[in-house]
Structure 1
Amino acid sequence: MKALSFLRRGSPRLIRSVGMTLGLALAINAAAPAQTAPLSIDPVVDRGATGDRLSDAFDALEAAGFTGIVGLSHEGETVFLRGAGEADPQTGRRYGPDTQVDTGSITKSFTGMLAAQLISDGTLSADLRLADVFDDVPSDKADITLHQMLTHAAGFPGAVGDDLADEDFDTFLANAFAAPLQFEPGTGYHYSNVGFSLAAAIMEHATGQSYEALLRDRLARVGIHSTGYQTAFDHERSVHLDDGRDVADASWGGHPPNWNLIGNGGLVSTAPDMLAWRQAWSAGDLISPQARDLGQTPFQDEGGGASHYGYGLVVEDDPALGRIYWHNGGNPHFNAHWRELADHGLILFVGTDQHRLNADRVVDVLTAAWFGQPYEVTAAPTASDAPIELPDTPTGQLVADFMAALGGDAAAHQAFIEARFTADMIAFAEMDRHLAMFAQLAADFGGQPVLGFEAGEQHVRFTVLAPSMGEAVAIQFDTTGSETRRIAGLQIG
């Protein structure tokens, strides 16, 4: 099963869990967006000064415990590529340009890219229904379209099986058809691995090629050869865990990926491949410009207007940085993140084998360093850290009440929301949606210890153990009030 992989984003703050079956359905800041001052960016990039800043930031990340590989390209040229730590602790092999890492749910970006091309050239239709491809589709799923699957609007649950199981396609399909939908197709948003695996199967049906062959043939057109599943995988180049397991063992179960992964997760790649892939895709060289523009359309509001989902990627318009495309992903062992700041010609990729300084946080640090903005490098607490005692302060009591509410039932969740959310936060969504979010929070963090706490004038940040991933995850409340603190925004990561 995929695990938590969160990203903090700018105003208005909307945090969404990407690349997992477990995680927040929604986290929001309902207050009016803060006015973001424009970044002070020299129109002519000084590669020397920028490189020095990136090196300093990477040194700080490595000193704080980051292990993995990072790469940045600017206007089509790789300007930074460095690894930290051992990709194979048993042999001492270091992370380097050839290291194959698990990209997790970034796989969805590859699937969305392929689907956009097949739709653009007429091989597939965005309106193609499940019933047009498969037999005996249940009535509640018969009219689900390819477009809905590619934008998480189909209503499928996050997953219907175990990534590591040795299951065939028929088992996956039966599980998908039997799974209750989260909502009527086309009426909502729910991040789902299921829809992307079905989309991959539809592409196989339409082309007569396996998903992996279709992808590798497309990538080979621009000289990319180290990205794929088992036909690209190289044990000697793969990242390995301390116990010796490589990606094939740790992420696939020691056998070829099953259909709980195909099309939605588990692809291996290298940092140079990832930079070349995104550059060729963005330039319209890997797929047609028409397909690129189709796939990068901000189709589906993720729940607050700040970010939208296209075909396998997130589309955001940041008030300071302009148009951004990105996706991340991870499992209990590995996590990764690609991001393009389209208005600045900047592409970043990070892959890592730990969560204390995960790929999302590293991308944020390197982005700040690129633009000469301040950043902070601090490693998150780990599951082995001792629980703390919350302070006897209004913010300490707020966190205590929140954790107590997570241990209760739906009535306790609603009582906390009504007592501790601001009016704007409550009005942001229907109560059923708030309760669904709290049900997921309770599943992720209910009954777990608080491992860290830090409070400011308008926020409180604390870390809680997430048992499914064996790691501590940060939660932040934006707060108002004095003696009784209320939550104006909630962020994960």
Structure 2
Amino acid sequence: MRRIPTIIAAAFLAAACTSVEEGPDSGAEAPACDPDLVSALGKWADAGFSGAVAVTGGGTECRAAFGTADGTAPNTDDTVFAIGSVSKGFTAAAILGLADDGALALDDKAGDLLPGLTGPAADATVEQLLLHTSGLEGEHGSDHEPLDRDEAITAISGFTSAFEPGSDFGYSNGGYTLLALIVDEVTGSYRDHMAGEVLTLGGEPFGGFWDGEPAAPGPRAVGTVDGEPSTENGGFPGPYWAMEGNGDLAMTAGNLADWTKALFEGEVISPAAVETLTGTAFDNGDGTAEIPGWVSVGPDMFGTPFVTASGGGGDTGHNATAVWLPDLGMSIAVTSNSEEVIAGDLAQAIAPALAAGEEVPVPEGHAEADPEELAAAEGTYTLETGGTYTVAATEDGLDVAAAGADAVTAMFASADYTAEDVAAHEDLVAALLAGETDAGREELDALEGDLGDIERVELAGTAEEQGELRTYATLFTADGELLVWYALDERGGVGAVTLGAEPPAFTLVPTGEGEYRRELTGAGDGVRVAFADGLMTVTGPAGSVEATRD
């Protein structure tokens, strides 16, 4: 997906817990959450989470919602969210159900099932597509841009092969759209089959499609993209094949939790098909394995095995995470429509605690801001190595824009990415912008078509934003400088890019100890900042640096 430049602005949503029975058209009253759990979740809402949480099974039942759906109306248990790539789990269920019925086999080649498909994609097996081991590489369309069925088949037929099929893992949205095309071919209609066989339990619909029909019933949350309300709120007229099968579905958090539990308990597809689901795997070699539509995590990481899927971060501005804990028979779903604390952040914090029967960790407390202290910290601070921090006071803390690789690196902290991950991502971006790969040569052609000759490129640091690594770079042309950022996949393909970007911005909140902490998105160590005598001291995983006020 290629994003249009946007203006980054802080847009905090009000955080208020809503009991499920207060939502519009709630129907039968759903179980209320344990008060201690609601209290803990409320602290995450204070830290910026806006969305909904649902837990079912294992002796815990909970439906809770926080923040606002559209800036005014509150999120409730009835609020619908786009679930992004969690949709792949639903596509996988459709395929496994058809395999269980004998309509296809996992070792069938895609080209034998879908007339008109050519190239390496035609030789990929259904199982390889399910596990992202087909080796297929390429993009078949951009989010929310019209793409019909024939155009999708033609685009996927043009995919290249990155490795010997079955020998490695390479995440592919196009591979899952190809699976949706196979469902369409075998059943006569992908959407009708999904609505009638996969998204329906006991005669009741469990969500639907974000764009088009059958739509997910209920009021929709408005997402946030780079600080601005999303404009992709379900009005896209289609055709939809750029996202079919790989990121097209929408539902409430409660729908997602209930469907996940029903899936793994053999109510969506047969118990035999569930055994195929959990037994068809590609071992990642790190305690995790890819299974169709999901990632299976062994017990060593959190003390109990679990299965999970996450999606979002696209143009809808929504994120969603689903977790299945088989030993407990518990399902957890989190959906979000804010950028400060996304669904994956909250799920990562609460799922291990719920699995262990322990208290849910909460973000570090937020001290009351002193307006005079905040105003005194404002200004531009320069590191000895040249990077700068521009500090501006807000009502509750400080906003810091970091310019330069040294400044951005010092502010980096992540529970999901290591320094090695950052270095690998920066190497991929450097190779891309040097034109050392096929994707890089295509990107340079596109850039120079828009900007003219690029004289040189300087990397400007990497930040984790919206759950992904974004490496910033300055492009130098005859007309001046342009800041861009790239989020790449593990093979150097462009996942997202913004041209004319603003420097990465970080929120600092007072801790009450004469210092500030970067955001409130975790309960452990993070980046801390102190101001004294014209110095700004940043201390975090990368070490400690000092910047002097200009």
- Tell me, yes or no, if structure 1 residue 354 matches structure 2 residue 334: no
Residue 279 of structure 1 and its aligned partner are, at CA, apart by 1.7
| Aligned 8 A contact 1:163 1:257 in 2 | no
Among 326, 351, 361, the alignment partner of 1:375 is: 361
Partner of 1:83: 65
SS of residue matched to 1:344: coil
Alpha-carbon deviation of 1:360? 0.6
C-alpha change, 1:274 and 1:237, in structure 2 (3 Å) is same
Q: TM-score, normalised by structure 2?
A: 0.61
> In terms of mean alpha carbon deviation, does 190-199 or 219-228 score higher?
219-228
In the aligned structure 1, how far is the partner of 2:352 from the partner of 2:248? Answer: 29
Shift of 1:162: 0.7
- Whether the aligned pair in 1 keeps the contact of 2:152 and 2:242 (CA below 8 Å) is yes
Aligned residues: 391
Task: State which of 152, 177, 181 in structure 1 corresponds to 2:161.
Answer: 181
Letter in 1 for 2:146: D
- Do the aligned residues in 1 keep the contact of 2:399 with 2:505 (CA within 8 Å)? no
5+ long unaligned stretches in structure 1: 4-47, 414-434, 464-475, 480-493
- 1:317 to 2:298 alignment: yes
Matched, 1:148 2:128: yes
Greater shift in the superposed pair: 53-62 or 156-165 = 156-165
CA positional deviation for 1:441: 9.7
Any residues of structure 2 matched to 1:149-164 within 5 Å, and which? Answer: 149-157=129-137, 159-164=139-144
Aligned to 2:401: 386
- Aligned residue for 1:195? 175
Structure 2 distance, partners of 1:113, 1:439, is 29
Q: TM-score normalised to the size of structure 1?
A: 0.67
> Which among 338, 350, 370 is matched to residue 366 of structure 1?
350
Q: CA deviation at 1:196?
A: 0.8
Aligned mates of 1:205, 1:383 — CA distance in 2? 55
Equivalent residue number for residue 196 of structure 2: 216
AA paired with 1:307? T
1:444 Cα deviation after fit = 6.8
Aligned to 1:60: 43
CA contact (8 A) 2:135 2:170 kept: yes
Higher strand share: 2
Alignment of 1:306 with 2:287, yes or no, is yes
Partner amino acid, structure 1, of 2:319: N
**Which 4+ residue blocks in structure 1 deviate beyond 4 angstroms?**
381-384, 388-392, 394-399, 401-413, 435-455, 459-463, 476-479
Amino acid at match of 2:298: D
Give the fraction of aligned pairs with identical amino acids, expressed as a percent: 23
* Pairs within 5 Å for 1:172-321: 172-229=152-209, 230-233=212-215, 237-241=219-223, 250=232, 254-256=236-238, 258-297=240-279, 299-302=281-284, 304-319=285-300, 320-321=302-303
Question: Partner amino acid for 2:36?
Answer: R
**1:471 alignment counterpart:** none
Residues 247-283 of structure 1 deviation map (CA, whole Å, 9 limit, x = unaligned): 9x61666214611111111201112211221121121
Distance 1:443 1:270 in 2: 26
From 325, 336, 356, the counterpart of 1:341? 325
Take 2:353 and 2:126, find their aligned partners in 1: how far apart are those partners? Answer: 39
Name the CA shift for 1:101/1:206 in 2 (closer, same or farther; >3 Å): same
Q: 1:226 to 1:347 in 2, by over 3 A?
A: closer
Residue 153 of structure 1: SS of its match in structure 2?
coil
Q: CA deviation at 1:373?
A: 5.0
Note the residue ranges of structure 2 that are not aligned, 5 or more in a row: 4-30, 366-390, 392-396, 413-417, 437-487, 509-516, 519-523, 529-539, 544-550
Counting only pairs closer than 5 Å after superposition, residues 451-466 of structure 1 correspond to structure 2 as 451=505
Distance 2:223 2:327 in 1: 37
Preserved contact between residue 335 and residue 353 of structure 1 (Cα < 8 Å): yes
Q: Does the CA-based 8 Å contact 2:201-2:268 persist in structure 1? A: yes
Higher relative contact order (CA 8 A, sep 6+): 1
Q: Offset at 1:385? A: 3.7
| CA RMSD between the two structures | 4.4
SS in 1 for 2:144: coil
In structure 2, the residue corresponding to 1:185 is in which secondary structure? coil
